Homo-oligomer: A and B are copies of this chain.
Amino acid sequence: MFLDLRCKRSKFIQKGSCENMINDIIQAAHEAGSILLATADSGMEITRKSNHELVTTADLLSEKYLKKRLLEIEPEAGFLGEESWDGDFPEPPFWIVDPLDGTNNYAHGYPVWTVSIAYWSGIEIEYGCVYDPGRNETFSASKGSGAWLNGRQVFSSGTEKISDCIFATGFPYHRKEDDLGLDLGVLKYFLGRVQGIRRGGSAALDLAYVACGRLDGFWEEHLKPWDMAAGYLLVKESGGEVSAYEGGKWTPAAGGVTASGKQIHSEMLKGIGQ
């Protein structure tokens, strides 16, 4: 059923030569979203990656589909996907894909999960798309062309005071009770200072929400490239600020991220570094 939806032009696209590349990426994200919705309805097998982290047949199906589909759009690119990663970065350019961000939510029926697709040139994320099938919201960006939500340009928050902010964060999977000191320290620091802190469980969606101003900021350590890559470009193109977790240039290997509206980024980093 998904083959019918494919862009017939895709195999002829040369990198950089087609302004419709982002539309092909959006279409691929929608197709993967359809696979995930259909699998949620029909049931799935769930296995554990670790104590806290699940993987479902839906993750695997979605990644298999996206790998094929994205390599048709850009055959010269490598592919870095959550479920098939061997731990090495491919030669750039490559796709960075989370076929299902928020797997634990998905497996429980908690309706906060997304598809995340990015394209890394080796120097910069050039395209990014985060698709939320539950709300039918598509966040997309091409480098230099702004951030968009369902075809409408969006901008990060202009909030100037941290006391007016709503932030989001996440807690890492690879945790033991005793390792949480630092994360809870940062949480505690912000809890006393902001209007609210949210934890939805999809880092890609949190970054997309920073890009459209629904959240003023987001911080999380111990993230993988696919959790952040598309959201990074969305925030950047929305006029926001995005860095590695403790500051400095973000790259797919940064291992964490701090993103926010422009005015409060340095104050966020201050809280993270305290």
Contact = CB atoms under 8 A, between A and B. Distances in A.
Nearest to A137: B111
Interface string A187-198: 111011111111
Contact of A108 (B175, B189, B216): B216
B196 A201 contact: yes
Interface in A131-188: 134-135, 163, 166, 171, 175-177, 180, 184, 187-188
A175 B198 contact: no
Given A175-B192, A196-B201, A201-B196, A214 B180 contact: no
A11 interface: no
Given A175-B191, A188-B177, A110 B214 contact: yes
A52 interface: yes
B213 A109 contact: yes
Contact of A188 (B54, B180, B212): B180
Contacts of A184: 184, 187-188
A134 B134 CA distance: 11
A198 B196 contact: no
Question: What copy number does this chain have within its complex?
Answer: 2
A113 to B, nearest CB: 12
Contacts of A171: 191, 196-197
B201 A108 contact: no
A105 B196 contact: yes
A104 B175 contact: no
A214 B111 contact: yes
A196 B54 CA distance: 11
Interface in A183-226: 184, 187-189, 191-201, 209, 212-216
Contacts of A108: 166, 195, 213-216
A104 B194 CA distance: 11
A261 to B, nearest CB: 11
Contacts of A111: 135, 214
Interface of A: 51-52, 54, 104-105, 108-112, 134-135, 163, 166, 171, 175-177, 180, 184, 187-189, 191-201, 209, 212-216
User: Ordered nearest first, which 9 A-B pairs have the shortest CB separation?
Assistant: A177-B192, A199-B199, A110-B214, A109-B214, A104-B196, A108-B166, A104-B195, A52-B195, A198-B199
Given A109-B212, A171-B197, 11 more contacts: A105-B198, A108-B195, A108-B213, A108-B214, A109-B213, A110-B198, A110-B209, A177-B188, A180-B188, A197-B199, A198-B199
